[in-house]
Amino acid sequence: MEDPALLRHFKGHKDAVTSVDFNPDTKQLATSSLDTFLMIWNFKPQSRAFRFVGHKEGVTCVQFAPSGQLVASASQDKTVRLWVPNMKGESSLFKAHTATVRSVNFSCEGQHVVTASDDKSIKVWNVHRQRFLFSLTQHTNWVRCARFSPDGRLIASCSDDRTVRIWDKSNRLCVSTFADYDGSVNFVDFNPTGTCVASAGSDNTVKLWDIRMNKLLQHYQVHSGAVNSLSFHPSNNYLITASSDGTVKILDLLEGRLVYTLHGHKGPVLAVAFSRSGEQFASGGTDAQVFVWKTNFDGFNSKEVLKRHLKRLYPDAPPHINDIYPRSPHLHTGVSSSIEINPMFELADTQTTDPPVIDTGFCSASNSQVASISLRPVQKSRSW
């Protein structure tokens, strides 16, 4: 049994990394940053990274379409862009909201995107026609995140108004509201089966809600800082969380316990995501770094993981140099301490060399303007 291990360590952003997402083929990782760029990193050795230039202000969210042929980004410049993830860096512009756009998310079939904004609204768009469809407007403060359910019939949203809302996409009505929070809610997402949602709170909590019974299923208070992002493992058995306390944590949802605490980022961790297969996950933070981790922990339940870990920590022979560090207890509510992993201690080579970066999105006619294209005809037009 191997613990999560650091595979790659990408450096290229110049400011906080706000979002991470794997290409469905798991060959690329997209990241967004307050440095105004989004980047696509290739996992093939010696491959170059692509930096996409076009947003005028910080990029708050990035996501691959289910096909992997498009990438959507949201920005503080009030726009959403759809990019073709290749060297040309062509993009299509949505003048989406009247304030910062916090999140963008594709529906399961890739035909729609949902956006959330500081203008207190949620908007749904047709991707291929690039057309606004409708708004959802019952939140009373900034909307931090909006996500489609796996079947595309529901939308979950969270807000600085301290609520999580569930919306019916067909009739555009709010069908559930969860309000048991002591602060703003930073992130929300559906589990893979679409039966519950998990929320990340500025009150340091992670909560799982059953949307069929409208009740709280699990409540974790394992972080010592705001929880900024989370992601479900595709097995539905694990949840990974990112926090301003500088750690990433892995929760076993079947056992209802904290299993791993991962260190390495220098400062708040803002983003985390599993790959579609669940074999890898990525994290990004205010230190502008991107970590890609590999794990096979889903092959064992958490009791077996902890049993094997204790054998490694307290062997009959002297401790091995690669024993997990630090060994001091990590404060959290509930059961015994989690397994602590510090990748900078475990791995001598963290691949900190910056990969070669290619800037894309510039028009050959201008150094500052970006080619904006329609996704129907292959015809270029100016964004502004």
Helix (H), strand (E), coil (C) string for 58-103: CEEEEEECCCCCCEEEEECCCEEEEECCCCCCCEEEEECCCCCEEE
pLDDT greater than 80 at residue 153: yes
List the 357-360 sheet strands across, edge first. Answer: 17-22, 28-33, 38-42, 49-52, 357-360
DSSP state of 350: -
Q: What is the mean pLDDT of the chain?
A: 83
At 318, the pLDDT band (50, 70, 90 cuts) reads very low
User: What pLDDT is recorded for position 192?
Assistant: 95
At 336, the pLDDT band (50, 70, 90 cuts) reads very low
Interval 330-358 mean pLDDT: 57
Interval 157-163 mean pLDDT: 97
3-state secondary structure of 355: coil
At 46, the pLDDT band (50, 70, 90 cuts) reads confident
pLDDT greater than 60 at residue 384: no
DSSP state of 370: B
Cis peptide before 315 (omega within 30 of 0): no
**Beta pairing, strands 280-285 & 289-294:** antiparallel
Interval 346-357 mean pLDDT: 53
As to burial, measured by CB atoms within 10 angstroms (0-12 exposed, 13-18 middle, 19+ buried), residue 44 is: exposed
3-state secondary structure of 190: strand
Task: Specify the higher pLDDT residue, 312 or 287.
Answer: 287
3-state secondary structure of 129: coil
User: What pLDDT is recorded for position 295?
Assistant: 83
Task: Specify the higher pLDDT residue, 373 or 362.
Answer: 362
Interval 129-139 mean pLDDT: 94
The model's pTM:
0.83
CA angle 137, 142, 199 (to 5 degrees): 95
pLDDT greater than 60 at residue 376: no
User: What pLDDT is recorded for position 348?
Assistant: 37
Interval 64-77 mean pLDDT: 96
pLDDT greater than 90 at residue 205: yes
